[in-house]
Amino acid sequence: MGFGMARKVAGKIGAGSCIALALAASLALAQERAPESTPPSEAPPLSPACEAPAGDIAAPASLPHFAKALRERKTASILAIGSSSTSGVGATSDAKSYPAQLEAILEGALKGVDVVVANRGVSGEVAAVTAERIKSEVAREKPDLLLWQLGTNDALVRIAPDEFENTVSSTIRWLKANEIDVVLVGLQYSSRFSRDEEYFAIRNVLQRVATAENVAYVRRYDAMRFIAQNHANLQMMARDNFHLNDLGYQCMAEHIARAVIVGVFAKRRPSGN
């Protein structure tokens, strides 16, 4: 059944080995203390274009099941689910979508392991529909880690924030019960919605849920805004000025890779799942 195959790609080794170099440092740090809501100060370096303050990139949390799979099987599967930013709208090819780039970065950084990233992005999808797909995808693919990119469409179609919160937290609890780690990947930044109340409310919900459920949260909005404001000369957006371009997806992949790698080496928190 060919449809279950993940997109395999090569490339992006450069960024990967950069991260690998810094792994020893972050490993030593992680062993000293469990990470709090902020990542270790010595985080894997990013390519210059994707630089952003650590706090703007992600709030990592430990990924015990993914780490265990890597440790015991030397292979782990990741399910990347979400909407257009996952499927890769705006990228010049499938190989430039963030899940494909992430696979290369992780395999470069975590030497000697096989990471398979399956892309299950459906553009324009709201979280409630993705949540339904998660159930059947999980039953079929049995991933160790689920990367859930969400929120932008829920904000745009005006889903009530409490309804969104309910969908996300109940799905996270279901995933935890199934021993699957979760990384939430937040809303994207767009100057058009920087003052939109609904957009703001959905963003708050994600942050709150990630903290309450103790799951990693990639703060895409903050990182993208930082880059947009500080590297104004770098074009991260596709021609429609809403989707990312290849460079935008590279930064997204690097930021998510960072949250994943920190999560792998982070000790479990006492209250951990």
Partner 1 sequence: MREPNEIDFWRGFALVTIFVNHIPGIFFERFTFRNVAISDSAELFVFLAGWALRKLVDGPAKPLSARYLILRLEGRAFTVYLAQLVIAQLAVALLAGASLLLDAPFLLDWNNASAIFSDPVRANLGLVLLTFQLGYFDILPLYVVLMLVSPLIALSYRHARALLLPASLALWAYALAFGVNFPTWPVEGAWFFDPLAWQLVFVLGFLLAGEDGIGGLVRRYRKPLWWAALPIVLLGAVAARTEFDPSPIALPEPKLFFVFDKTFLSPARLLSNLAIVAVFAGAFHAIARGLPRLADFLSALGRNSLNVFCAGSLLSLAGQIFRFAYSGDVVSDAFIVMFGIAAMGATAWASEWRERLRAKSARAPA
Rounded to whole angstroms, how far apart are CA atoms 159 and 122?
18
Q: Please, which residue, 32 or 72, has the CB nearer to partner 1? A: 72
234 class by beta-carbon count within 10 Å (0-12 exposed, 13-18 middle, 19+ buried): middle
Local structure of residue 190 (DSSP, 8 states): -
Q: Which residues bind partner 1 (CB under 8 A)?
A: 1-3, 7, 83-84, 87, 89-90, 119-120, 122-126, 128-129, 132-133, 135-136, 138-140, 152-154, 156-160, 163, 170, 174, 177-179, 198, 240-243
At its nearest, how many Å lie between partner 1 and the CB of residue 246? 13
Q: Bridge-partner residues for 114, per DSSP? A: 75
Q: Bridge-partner residues for 59, per DSSP? A: 217
At its nearest, how many Å lie between partner 1 and the CB of residue 27? 29
Six token digits for residue 202: 């959905």
At its nearest, how many Å lie between partner 1 and the CB of residue 124? 4
Q: Please, which residue, 26 or 153, has the CB nearer to partner 1? A: 153
At its nearest, how many Å lie between partner 1 and the CB of residue 248? 14
Rounded to whole angstroms, how far apart are CA atoms 88 and 91?
6
CB contact at 8 A, 58 and 255: yes
Residue of 54, 56, 55, 67 whose CA lies nearest to 27: 67
Q: Please, which residue, 25 or 128, has the CB nearer to partner 1? A: 128
Q: Please, which residue, 107 or 125, has the CB nearer to partner 1? A: 125
At its nearest, how many Å lie between partner 1 and the CB of residue 125? 6
Q: Please, which residue, 176 or 231, has the CB nearer to partner 1? A: 176
Tally DSSP H helices, then E strands, for the chain.
11, 6
At its nearest, how many Å lie between partner 1 and the CB of residue 223? 19
Six token digits for residue 193: 């919605």
Q: Which bin fits 90, alpha (ψ -120 to 50), beta or left (φ > 0)?
A: left
Q: Please, which residue, 42 or 198, has the CB nearer to partner 1? A: 198
